[in-house]
Structure 1
Amino acid sequence: MQSLRFIIIPVIILGLGYLIYSQIKQPTTKPKKPPGIRKAPKTKVIELHVENYTSSIESNGIINAHNEVNLTSQVPGRIVKIHPQFEDGAFFTKGTILLELEEADFLTSVASAEAMLAQASASHAQEKARSEQARLNWEDLGYDEEPNELVIRLTQLRESEARVNSASTQLAQAERNFNRSKIKAPFDGRVRKRLVGVSQAVSGSTPLGNIFAVDYAEVRIPISAKEMPHLNLPENPDDPSVDITLYDALDEKNQTIWPAKIIRTEGTLDESSLELFAIAKISDPFGRNSTLPPLRIGQPVNAKIPGKILEKVIKIPRGAVRQLRRIYIIDREKLTMHGISVEPIRETQSHIIIQDDSIKEGTLLSTTPMPWIPDGSKVEITFEETLKESDDAEDGKTTLISP
């Protein structure tokens, strides 16, 4: 009995363990869920409008003086005085005396020329009297024919008259040289750099300083070959100028706008860049007659140039353009989405500009980024708020899309 107990108990334990294991191992059946209804994806939409659009092209350039020269003296001499208007950066007006040369030699030349003129005038007066007396003598002798030139001393009279004219010319030259000893400003301008000092001897070829005109300045603006067809640039003298705006390229926080006009274009393309340079005129660049801050010579600026009017185009927000330049439009009646490829003709920082006859006025455009969904899929739409005008301010910065 004792041995039988030791056999039965382990068998019972093993049997109970097997039953427990079988219960755990048996798969449980989960209740099936009823099939759900698939929801249509939601998207925000805007209405597209067919409109005329005036784009702007942004370029840059450097402010240059339209007339900059090295001032020189017309006569040699020694500098005895430099006026404040000839210091570096000083403004001056046309006719202002900038430097003075020593006058002594010029005064001597004037006095000598005056003496020569007086002597020639006296000789001419004497010769004229002799000629008149010779004619009277000829008439007293009873000759009926006209006396020849030698008899009435016409050749001597012409010689004395020529000497008077020569002396007058020499006096005028001496007086001009005396006046030129005071070197005057040839135009309204400003001094870039003075190159001479007091007591320095100068000749007619000595540069006295570098000066430039301030009535207006110019800026050369590069225009790429791709952009030229989209601009109305003046090519001929009778073509109207183009109003543009300039901005400070050194300080982006500077919101000052300087008006300018493109008045002409250069006749050739740049050999290295194949760009055409347009010349813009800035009136009163130093703000002497306005409240605008000055534009300094050599200052870099950004230029915004209005382009031609693009007719019957559509503005597409950049955020609505998917890969491969595809956009998704919504069928108003069926509320289904369809993707189409577009080819921009212009691009701005916030939009692309397209021409597509298949897109009609009021077409709905999806603006919500979504994973790929097949064409014809149903969607739920909500209208997005109309873009503010401030969003379009960035449209001035445009680039041309290669064909």
Structure 2
Amino acid sequence: MPSNKSTKILGILFRIAIPCVILAAGWFGFVKLAEQIKKPPEPQGKKFQLRSRVEPLEVVDYPVVVKTHAVVQPHNLVTLNAQVSGQVAKVSPSFEVGAYFSEGDVLVEIDPRDYETALSIAKSQLVAAESELKLAKVVEDRKLRLVESNAVSQGEVDAASATREQAEANVALAKTQVEQAELALERTKVIAPFDGRVKSNMIGIGQLAGSNSPLGEIFAVDYVEVRLPISGEQREFLNLPEFSDDPPIDVELRDSISQSDVVWRGKIVRTEGVLDEDSRDLFAIARVDDPFGRKSSGPPLRISQPVIASIEGTVLRDVIALPRPAVRQLNNIVLVDQSELTLLPMKIEALWSDAEKVVVPASAIPKGMLLATTPMPFTPKGTKIEVIPPAEEVSAAIADNSAPDTETKTTN
């Protein structure tokens, strides 16, 4: 009996001991995990020194040059039409595509034989009408003499007068028919209305041309026009001619395809009275004399050639012209204090900008500043920077450093 009782007591103690051991192990683990983990010391970051190239800021008077793109157009483009019908008998060599011609040249000739015959018939009818008029006048004069002696009646005199008037009308009609036949014969020759060049030819020898049928297109070569779009911002810096007596503005044109150094000089002579419906641009008309260099022996400025126009505008006084690459996000620049070499980022408001420069008032930039031109990832105000010397100075420094070594080697 005693042994059974001891076994029961041991069993009870064992069942109580297991949870206690589990609780003790949990508490021990909690204590260990709750202890603060000692972190290794963080490595100290390397000091980063901002470096930038700088440029001096100069107050200047900046001449605005407005640039715009356009296409050369003929000032007088004409479609030649046949005024009479007939078979084409001759086509002048000057009426080939690209050929030059002078005012008064015969470009196309229609077979004139039918019109020569019509003219001969009209002239014969005129001769007959003049003969009838001569006879009617003789009869009328005789009737007028006889009526005084009562040899004829007044009715016969009136009839003779009416016959004479009818004969006069027939003569006038015959003369008109002769003039019409002469004009039709003259129109068998298509005459050049001005000095020009052929754009297209739509007719050939032997082809039948109808009245008002197109023969080809020609354009004048005394001067060409360039229709230049000018935006609202650009118009503020230009004094464009508005009236016929306003002075013209000089303009330079360059080929926008080949980017060559060839320059054509012209003048803006007028502006259009209506803004473009889509862009609201104003079109200024520039005129270039002798575009094909026939008198000046210059390079040809061809029709439909795309060009870049440069127009001199007003001069901005007391401004600073900043290089465009130094202007960040359109209106932000970074200045460098010349004495302390610290950064000063600031925003600007441009008076004028183009592909190369951004022009600001000189009063907007503090004195004693340089312009940072090197892109930097961040530019906190007051940060010290190191100025990168110009390439010439770096080259000179390298040459100076290498010179002693060279002399030493030579001496040895």
Q: Deviations over 1:165-219 (max 9, x none)?
A: 1111111111111111111112211111211111111111211112222111122
The 8 Å contact of residues 65 and 312 in structure 2, kept in 1 or not, is answered as yes
Aligned pair 1:188/2:195, yes or no? yes
- Looking at both structures, which has the greater relative contact order when contacts are Cα pairs under 8 Å and sequence separation is at least 6? 1
Q: After superposition, give the CA deviation of every residue in 1:339-376 in whole Å (9 maximum; x if it has no partner).
A: 5432112123432211253558x855345648746449
Q: What are the equivalent positions in structure 2 for 1:191-270 lying under 5 Å apart?
A: 191-252=198-259, 254-270=260-276
Q: Whole-Å Cα distance in 2 between the matches of residues 255 and 117 of structure 1?
A: 67
SS in 1 for 2:359: strand
Q: 2:97 aligns with which of 88, 92, 99?
A: 88
Contact 2:86 2:111 in 1 (8 A): yes
Tell whether 2:177 aligns with 1:170: yes
1:123 aligns with 2:128: no
Q: Which runs of 5+ in 2 are unaligned?
A: 1-48, 393-412
**Unmatched segments (≥5 aa) in structure 1:** 1-38, 386-403
Asked if structure 2 preserves the Cα contact closer than 8 Å seen for 1:93 and 1:189, the reply is yes
Q: Separation in 2 of the partners of 1:214 and 1:331?
A: 59
- Residue 64 to residue 44, structure 1, CA distance change in 2 (3 Å): closer
| Cα distance between partner residues in 2 of 1:346 and 1:90 | 46
> In 2, distance between residues paired with 1:255 and 1:368?
30
Q: TM-score, normalised by structure 1?
A: 0.73
Residue 365 (structure 2) pairs with residue 355 (structure 1)? no
Give SS of 2:301's match: coil
Q: 1:319-345 deviations in whole A, cap 9, x for unaligned?
A: 65467523426477x998755432112
Match of 1:286 in 2: 292
* Secondary structure of the corresponding residue to residue 239 of structure 2: coil
Alpha-carbon distance in structure 1 between the residues aligned to 2:361 and 2:247: 29
Inter-partner Cα distance in structure 2 for 1:315 and 1:117: 83
Confirm whether residue 310 of structure 1 aligns to residue 319 of structure 2. no
Structure 1 residue matching 2:175: 3-state secondary structure: helix
Q: Deviations over 1:205-257 (max 9, x none)?
A: 211112222111122222223322222222333332221111011111x2100
Kept in 2: contact 1:49–1:363 (CA 8 A): no
Classify 1:44/1:75 alpha carbon distance in 2 versus 1 (closer, same or farther; 3 Å). Answer: closer
Tell me which protein shows more helix as a share of its residues.
2
Q: Kindly tell me the number of residue pairs found equivalent between the two proteins.
A: 339
Equivalent residue number for residue 59 of structure 2: 49
Pair 1:295-2:325 in alignment = no
Contact 1:329 1:364 in 2 (8 A): yes
Instruction: Note if contact 1:336-1:377 (Cα within 8 Å) is conserved in structure 2.
Output: yes
Say whether the 8 Å CA contact 1:325–1:343 is kept in structure 2: no
Change (3 A) 1:267 1:314: same
Q: Distance in 1 between matches of 2:305 and 2:371?
A: 45
The answer on whether the counterparts of 2:140 and 2:157 sit within 8 Å (CA) in structure 1 is: no
The 8 Å contact of residues 342 and 381 in structure 2, kept in 1 or not, is answered as no
2:86 pairs, out of 77, 93, 99, with 77
Matched, 1:275 2:281: yes
Deviation at 1:77, TM superposition (A): 0.9
- Contact 2:343–2:379, Cα closer than 8 Å, also in 1: no
Q: Which residue of 1 aligns with 2:7?
A: none
Identify if the C-alpha distance between structure 1 residues 330 and 228 changes in structure 2 by more than 3 Å, giving closer, same or farther: same
Provide the rounded CA distance (Å) in 2 between the counterparts of 1:96 and 1:314.
59
**Judging changes above 3 Å, is the alpha-carbon distance between structure 1 residues 45 and 311 closer, same or farther for their aligned structure 2 residues?**
closer
Query: What is the TM-score with the length of structure 2 in the denominator?
Result: 0.71
1:389 corresponding residue in structure 2: none
C-alpha contact 1:45 1:383 (8 A) present in aligned 2:
no
Instruction: Specify the SS of the correspondent of 2:269.
Output: strand
Note closer, same or farther for the CA distance 1:381–1:64 as it changes in structure 2 (3 Å cut): closer
Quote the residue 1:63 is aligned against: 72
Shift in alpha-carbon separation, 1:368–1:65, aligned structure 2, 3 A: closer
Secondary structure of the structure 2 residue equivalent to 1:116: helix
CA contact (8 A) 1:46 1:367 kept: no
Q: Against the structure 1 CA distance between its residues 318 and 184, is the aligned structure 2 distance closer, same or farther, given a 3 Å change threshold?
A: closer
